[in-house]
């Protein structure tokens, strides 16, 4: 920007969605406006497409000065600083990290890394513009949700919305925002950093909504190589790796109708995939890159804030998703109808609902479980032992339901009575049901 040139009016007030991909070895940051814009990925080195920010910190010996990313690696080499690696893994373990005899909370170190890395945005946007923040990680376990929640709290973000999603969901929602020709059939990701991983996206278009599944596989035997120095030995190693990948790709493609393949990770940038690439490109579109997940995080947040038609027409049933619709039969204007409580496709640890119902008669509540995976509709009956007998339609119940696991729900029912006519008995019941 030329000296004296000013930002366009209103640009600094523009609201931004941020997608933060937190991996085991590196992080990435993408951002976009709220109007379904194409996300941009922040470069770790100005003027380049080097998006990977190494997930490391380095402490300067004898003082409380910390560096992050590439600068941390450089300082550790040149100045004998203390390098702290595996930040995400150490946060999962929860054990103190000892640096120069001092104990550090691993989540605090992870938060420090994220805070420092967000400084890369300063050239483009201000953090005060961030309306919504989406973290995406490889696996979204309950422990990881707790860690990310503490990181978000430690960052003291002013964002109105902070959410988390897995790489699988980032893959899914990224595809929703691509040309439909790319995902008219199955889509695959081969990811190669330390070892090879596969994601295979399939859709069942015969259901309403359409159901999306993503199968994942890992191939630790295809470990990232450090090539031999001798050129002839290096070429031989490359041919062997190419053949190994070719066999894995053939095995996964032989019974699948795949229209698009993404090759992610630095391992594919080394020029060894020649015969395997010929196979992948046969009657398919193949893309190479490494910022799909952070862009998918942006798209995922946009969908949560303003769902698109594609989001409504499709539901992703991942390992951390509720697989069934949960509802209850109620009377409305004298006619029986279905009242939706929880919808399939939401993260189980975020799924909860609370509502009041007036009991027609008896002491039972019947919950309707409708799986989207092809099973039969079933009922789960909750009996309220000791509920006072009252005339029809004179018992109001408060019902709270929340998922305690991907296939388990806890239901708490409280007797609210019926105004002054029938005061509450003070009774409450808690039942666990399988879904």
The CATH number of whichever domain residue 203 belongs to comes to 3.30.420
What is the C-alpha to C-alpha distance for residues 98 and 84, in angstroms, rounded to an integer?
9
Say yes or no: 194 and 218 in one domain. Answer: yes
Q: What is the mean pLDDT of residues 169-185?
A: 95
Q: Do β-strands 408-417 and 324-332 pair in parallel, antiparallel, or remain unpaired? A: unpaired
What is the C-alpha to C-alpha distance for residues 397 and 415, in angstroms, rounded to an integer?
5
- Least confidently predicted of 10-14, 226-230, 298-302: 10-14
- Least confidently predicted of 18-27, 183-192, 374-383: 374-383
Would the pLDDT of 6 be above 60? no
Whole-angstrom CA distances from 92 to 95, 96, 105, 107, 311 are 8, 11, 11, 8, 32
Q: Residue 1: inside a domain, yes or no?
A: no
Instruction: Give the residue from 262, 285, 316 where a domain finishes.
Output: 316
Say yes or no: 157 and 235 in one domain. Answer: no
Say yes or no: 83 and 148 in one domain. Answer: yes
What is the C-alpha to C-alpha distance for residues 233 and 228, in angstroms, rounded to an integer?
6
pLDDT per position as a tens digit, 218-245? 999 999 989 999 999 999 999 999 999 9
Would the pLDDT of 157 be above 90? no
Nearest to 390 by CA among 357, 425, 354: 425
Asked if residues 318 and 173 have their Cβ atoms less than 8 Å apart, the reply is: no
Say yes or no: 359 and 257 in one domain. Answer: no
**CATH classification of the domain holding 152:** 3.30.420.40
Confidence band, pLDDT 50/70/90 cuts, at residue 9:
very low
Asked if residues 218 and 197 have their Cβ atoms less than 8 Å apart, the reply is: yes
Q: Residue 45: inside a domain, yes or no?
A: yes
Q: Do β-strands 314-316 and 102-104 pair in parallel, antiparallel, or remain unpaired? A: unpaired
Helix and strand totals (H; E) in the chain:
9, 25
Say yes or no: 62 and 87 in one domain. Answer: yes
Q: Residue 247: inside a domain, yes or no?
A: yes
Interaxial angle between packed helices 167-176 and 292-305, expressed in degrees from 0 to 180 and rounded to the nearest 10: 70
**Whole-number pLDDT of residue 374:** 78
Q: What is the mean pLDDT of residues 119-134?
A: 91
Say which residue, 80 or 153, is predicted with more confidence: 153
Q: Residue 7: inside a domain, yes or no?
A: no
**Whole-number pLDDT of residue 11:** 55
Number of domains in the chain: 3
Would the pLDDT of 10 be above 50? no
Say yes or no: 231 and 104 in one domain. Answer: no
Say yes or no: 144 and 175 in one domain. Answer: no
**CATH classification of the domain holding 384:** 2.60.34.10
**Whole-number pLDDT of residue 12:** 61
Is 78 buried (19+), middle (13-18) or exposed (0-12) by CB count in 10 A? Answer: exposed
Q: What is the mean pLDDT of residues 281-292?
A: 94
Q: Residue 6: inside a domain, yes or no?
A: no
Q: What is the mean pLDDT of residues 324-332?
A: 90
Instruction: Give the residue from 297, 316, 335 where a domain finishes.
Output: 316
Say yes or no: 371 and 394 in one domain. Answer: yes
Say yes or no: 351 and 289 in one domain. Answer: no
Say yes or no: 144 and 210 in one domain. Answer: no
Say yes or no: 78 and 48 in one domain. Answer: yes
Q: Name the 3-class secondary structure at 346.
A: coil
Boundaries of domain holding 117? 12-165
Q: Residue 204: inside a domain, yes or no?
A: yes
pLDDT per position as a tens digit, 334-360? 788 899 999 999 888 889 999 999 998
Q: Residue 5: inside a domain, yes or no?
A: no
Whether this model's pTM surpasses 0.95: no
Say yes or no: 151 and 185 in one domain. Answer: no
Instruction: Give the residue from 266, 284, 316 where a domain finishes.
Output: 316
Q: Residue 362: inside a domain, yes or no?
A: yes
């Amino acid at each position: 920007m030329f000296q004296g040139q000013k930002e366009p009016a209103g640009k600094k007030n523009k609201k931004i969605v941020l997608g933060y991909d937190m991996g085991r070895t590196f992080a990435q940051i993408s951002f976009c406006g709220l109007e379904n814009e194409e996300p941009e990925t922040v470069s770790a080195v100005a003027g380049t497409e080097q998006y990977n920010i190494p997930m490391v910190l380095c402490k300067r010996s004898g003082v409380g000065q910390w560096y992050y990313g590439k600068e941390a690696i450089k300082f550790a080499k040149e100045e004998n600083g203390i390098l702290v690696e595996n930040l995400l893994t150490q946060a999962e373990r929860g054990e103190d990290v000892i640096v120069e005899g001092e104990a550090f909370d691993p989540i605090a170190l992870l938060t420090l890394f994220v805070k420092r890395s967000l400084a890369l945005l300063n050239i483009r946007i201000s953090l005060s513009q961030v309306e919504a923040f989406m973290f995406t990680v490889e696996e979204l376990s309950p422990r990881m949700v707790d860690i990310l929640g503490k990181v978000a709290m430690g960052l003291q973000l002013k964002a109105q919305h902070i959410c988390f999603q897995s790489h699988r969901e980032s893959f899914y929602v990224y595809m929703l925002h691509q040309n439909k020709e790319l995902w008219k059939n199955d889509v695959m990701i081969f990811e190669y950093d330390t070892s090879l991983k596969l994601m295979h996206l399939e859709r069942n278009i015969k259901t309403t909504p359409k159901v999306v599944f993503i199968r994942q596989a890992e191939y630790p035997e295809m470990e990232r190589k450090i090539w031999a120095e001798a050129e002839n030995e290096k070429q031989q190693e490359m041919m062997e790796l190419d053949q190994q990948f070719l066999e894995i790709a053939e095995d996964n493609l032989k019974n699948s109708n795949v229209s698009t393949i993404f090759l992610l990770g630095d391992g594919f940038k080394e020029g060894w995939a020649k015969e395997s690439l010929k196979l992948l490109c046969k009657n398919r579109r193949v893309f190479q890159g490494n910022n799909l997940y952070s862009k998918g995080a942006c798209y995922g947040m946009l969908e949560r804030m303003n769902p698109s038609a594609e989001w409504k027409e499709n539901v992703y049933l991942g390992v951390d998703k509720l697989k069934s619709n949960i509802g209850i039969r109620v009377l409305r204007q004298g006619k029986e109808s279905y009242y939706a409580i929880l919808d399939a496709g939401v993260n189980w640890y975020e799924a909860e609902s609370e509502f009041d119902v007036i009991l027609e008669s008896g002491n039972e509540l019947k919950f309707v479980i409708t799986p989207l995976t092809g099973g039969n509709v079933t009922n789960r009956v909750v009996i309220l032992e000791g509920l006072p007998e009252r005339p029809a339609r004179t018992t109001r119940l408060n019902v709270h339901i929340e998922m305690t696991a991907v296939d388990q729900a806890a239901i708490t029912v409280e007797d609210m009575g019926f105004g002054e006519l029938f005061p509450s008995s003070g009774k409450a019941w808690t039942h666990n049901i399988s879904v």
